[in-house]
A and B are shown apart, each in its own frame.
Chain A
Amino acid sequence: MPSARICNVKEGIQTSMSDFQIVVCGSIVPDPLQSLEPAPGSEVPVLKNEMMLPSVLDPWAAHALYEAANLAKQSEGSQVWLVSLGPKAKLQQLMMTLAQKVPFQLVALDGPAGGFTDSFNASGLIAEAVKGIPGLDMSRLLLFGGWESASRGAGSTLQMVGERLGIRNQFQGVDELEVKPGEPMKILERVEGGKHQVSTCQAPPAVLGWATGNLPEPPNNPQTGMMNMRTVMPAIQQAGPVSLETGGLSYSDVKIPEQKRQTRIVKDMSTEEVARELVDWIKE
């Protein structure tokens, strides 16, 4: 019998597991095409012109959101929340596009989203926001997020949020979540050497830090956008300001590394000569 997949689901395959509460943690990061330059901040460094930089939803968190939406679509009664910590104005900007992708309810926290803040304190704020979701049922909870962010890139916030919520089954670098009727969830996590570790998990709650999965970015859907915006805009308006304590964290020598190389551009060699030079280099 073919496996019935909940995430990365094959069309037409039904599953018996349903009714998940899926909370996706994800915040904003600068658009990858932007040049970044560090600047001194009041407590920790910031990015130069940070508020002016175009932002996107953190790429791995975005994958997590798309997987969550796909799972909810296949599992009747499931709900998806996106918990996002970031400057209110930037969150609002992001939602203009993100809300058109997939259905979700937003829980917004108005605070810094930079990569130099500390995950320990950020996880505290996010965990409190998750706990505040009305009707949250831990026995149905799947806590999703990116396995790392494109800002701090530490892979630590989601784990700590899970710990703060008392979730002791966690998976990181997830590329696939699969369920067969009447059987435990099957999860593929990235491990060294381009392999996946395959595990089964009897039941929620669980933390899944997603890598890329296999789903493409959903196309914009204006109807989804209109539906989402009914709850997204009030959520942003109601988002209370939060601050992140830095504690004993400090930085020095924050810099963009010198990376410019003197590139030798070879235009006039024959294919044979190029190949010979490459082979010699490979064998060096």
Chain B
Amino acid sequence: MEKVLLLIHTDGEGNLHKSMMEALAAALAAGKRLGEVRLCAGIVGAGASDAADKLAGSGIEKVFTVSGDDFTASRYSSDSAAAEAVCRAADASIVVAAGTSRWNRVLSGVAFRLGGRIDTHVTGFGEGDGLSVSRWFYRQRILASVQRSERPWIISVDPGSFQAWSGSGAPPVETEEVEVNLPDVPEVEVIGEKTPAAGEQTIKPDAEILLVAGAGWTKIQRDGSAHAGEAETLILDFLRKAQASLGGSKSMVDQASEGEAVISFMTHLNQIGQTGSTPRHQKGLATCCHGEEPHAVGWRFINERRAINLDPNCGWAQGKADVLYISDSFEVLKKVNEML
């Protein structure tokens, strides 16, 4: 009989982020596909023992916890040691983990230590007998189902891929604090977080809508001048009023390092596409962006897509957007901001 371990972590305040409940839903789905399984959980981080109660009613039999000052901050040596210790204590054959930056930093290393295998960025489970996972290859261009016979098999699920589990009931029967031996390595200290230079959070993973700005915003307009300053104002105004997240095309974010006119708050962190991110939002609006294939692959998980472009033959017209408005983004966004 397979044993499934849900591997999650708390945030700095001891809370379980929504992505942890999504991973729980994935673990339950994995268990369902495997038939008769035993289900346990491992929680690492501040307040791990208290967080175990949040899993009440899910069917988790036992929770292994690792807490203490050494495990509040996210760093490779301590997180990998904790995850390894939990996996060994649980002796699970399938480990389903939340694909956060914290876990993605360490879980491949943990798989190696356990002599197991790992699949990251899993977005679902395949149909048919046995357990198979769905993930994308070549940057969201080819989809495949993967099966493995090696165990343990760590499955790291992308946030936003599963409906978060919610429920209540009796708390897990048993919890166990796992002892972790930290390796003797040069010290790493997490000293904080750096937020965007503009002082404004432009990347909002939970936003309903994504606004993507292309390089056209900084190019010479019909009056013969560039209007990067006006573009900044329009974009920021839209982000605030629509509660939107901001993405950029590669050509847009590359301008900063190429010495051209730039949108000051646009960095490589905003980049969407082949060499950028593939965010998950319900809606996406592309502006001044041509919808070239390397960029559009970053839109794989955007459900409703609209674009504004002056070129009726741009990439968005080739079946990549639901609606393409042949219009001036400056004028449209100004009017939209007035109406919002």
Q: Give me the interface of A with B, judged by CB distance under 8 Å.
A: 29-30, 32-33, 35-36, 38, 45, 47, 59-60, 115-116, 118-120, 123, 150-157, 159-160, 162-164, 168-173, 175, 184, 186, 188-204, 206-207, 211-216, 247-257, 259-267, 269, 271-272, 274-276, 278-279, 281-282
Expressed in whole angstroms, the Cα–Cα distance for A211 and B144 within the complex equals 25
> Across the interface, do B205 and A45 meet the contact criterion of CB distance under 8 Å?
no
Neighbouring A residues of B321 by C-beta, 8 Å: 261, 263
In the complex, what's the smallest C-beta–C-beta distance from A92 to chain B, in angstroms? 23
> Across the interface, do A156 and B118 meet the contact criterion of CB distance under 8 Å?
yes
Neighbouring A residues of B77 by C-beta, 8 Å: 168-169
> Across the interface, do A267 and B108 meet the contact criterion of CB distance under 8 Å?
no
> Across the interface, do A30 and B144 meet the contact criterion of CB distance under 8 Å?
no
Expressed in whole angstroms, the Cα–Cα distance for A163 and B145 within the complex equals 27
Contact indicator per residue, chain B 312-337, by CB within 8 Å of chain A (1) or not (0): 10001111111111111001100110
With CB as the reference atom, state the residue of chain B lying closest to A156.
Answer: B108
In the complex, what's the smallest C-beta–C-beta distance from B188 to chain A, in angstroms? 5
A171 with B76, Cβ < 8 A, contacts A32-B274, A269-B327 known: yes
Classify the interface of chain B: helix, strand, loop or mixed.
mixed
Q: Give me the interface of B with A, judged by CB distance under 8 Å.
A: 74-77, 80, 100-102, 104-106, 108-109, 111-113, 117-121, 126, 128, 132, 136-139, 141-150, 183, 185-196, 201-205, 209, 242, 254, 256-258, 268-271, 274-275, 283, 285, 292-294, 300, 304-306, 308, 312, 316-328, 331-332, 335-336, 338-340
Neighbouring B residues of A198 by C-beta, 8 Å: 190-194
Neighbouring B residues of A199 by C-beta, 8 Å: 75, 188-191
Looking at B136, B317, B335, the one whose CB has the most chain A CB atoms below 10 A away is: B335
Expressed in whole angstroms, the Cα–Cα distance for A122 and B189 within the complex equals 31
Count A/B pairs, Cβ under 8 Å: 278
- Tell me which of B183, B189, B332, B338 contacts A200 (CB under 8 A): B189
Neighbouring A residues of B112 by C-beta, 8 Å: 120, 123, 159-160, 163-164
With CB as the reference atom, state the residue of chain B lying closest to A248.
Answer: B149
Neighbouring B residues of A38 by C-beta, 8 Å: 142, 144
Neighbouring B residues of A207 by C-beta, 8 Å: 76
In the complex, what's the smallest C-beta–C-beta distance from A86 to chain B, in angstroms? 15
In the complex, what's the smallest C-beta–C-beta distance from B252 to chain A, in angstroms? 13
Neighbouring A residues of B254 by C-beta, 8 Å: 216
> Across the interface, do B126 and A194 meet the contact criterion of CB distance under 8 Å?
no
A160 with B108, Cβ < 8 A, contacts A120-B117, A202-B188 known: yes
> Across the interface, do B143 and A257 meet the contact criterion of CB distance under 8 Å?
yes
> Across the interface, do A116 and B325 meet the contact criterion of CB distance under 8 Å?
no
Expressed in whole angstroms, the Cα–Cα distance for A215 and B111 within the complex equals 33
> Across the interface, do B188 and A201 meet the contact criterion of CB distance under 8 Å?
yes
Neighbouring A residues of B269 by C-beta, 8 Å: 175, 190, 194
Expressed in whole angstroms, the Cα–Cα distance for A30 and B294 within the complex equals 12
Neighbouring B residues of A164 by C-beta, 8 Å: 112
Apart from A197-B190, A202-B186, A275-B335: 14 A-B pairs, beta carbons within 8 A: A32-B274, A32-B275, A115-B137, A168-B183, A186-B191, A194-B270, A199-B190, A206-B186, A247-B117, A252-B132, A253-B144, A263-B318, A264-B323, A278-B306
Neighbouring B residues of A202 by C-beta, 8 Å: 186-188
Listed from nearest, the 6 A-B pairs whose CB atoms lie closest are A194-B203, A248-B149, A156-B108, A275-B335, A260-B319, A159-B108
Would you list 13 pairs from A and B whose C-beta atoms are within 8 A, ordered by A residue?
A118-B117, A168-B76, A195-B195, A197-B190, A198-B190, A200-B191, A213-B268, A248-B117, A249-B147, A275-B332, A275-B339, A278-B285, A279-B340
Neighbouring B residues of A279 by C-beta, 8 Å: 336, 339-340
> Across the interface, do B319 and A200 meet the contact criterion of CB distance under 8 Å?
no
A154 with B187, Cβ < 8 A, contacts A164-B112, A248-B148 known: no
> Across the interface, do B325 and A274 meet the contact criterion of CB distance under 8 Å?
yes
Neighbouring A residues of B306 by C-beta, 8 Å: 278, 281
Looking at A33, A153, A248, the one whose CB has the most chain B CB atoms below 10 A away is: A153
Expressed in whole angstroms, the Cα–Cα distance for A261 and B191 within the complex equals 46
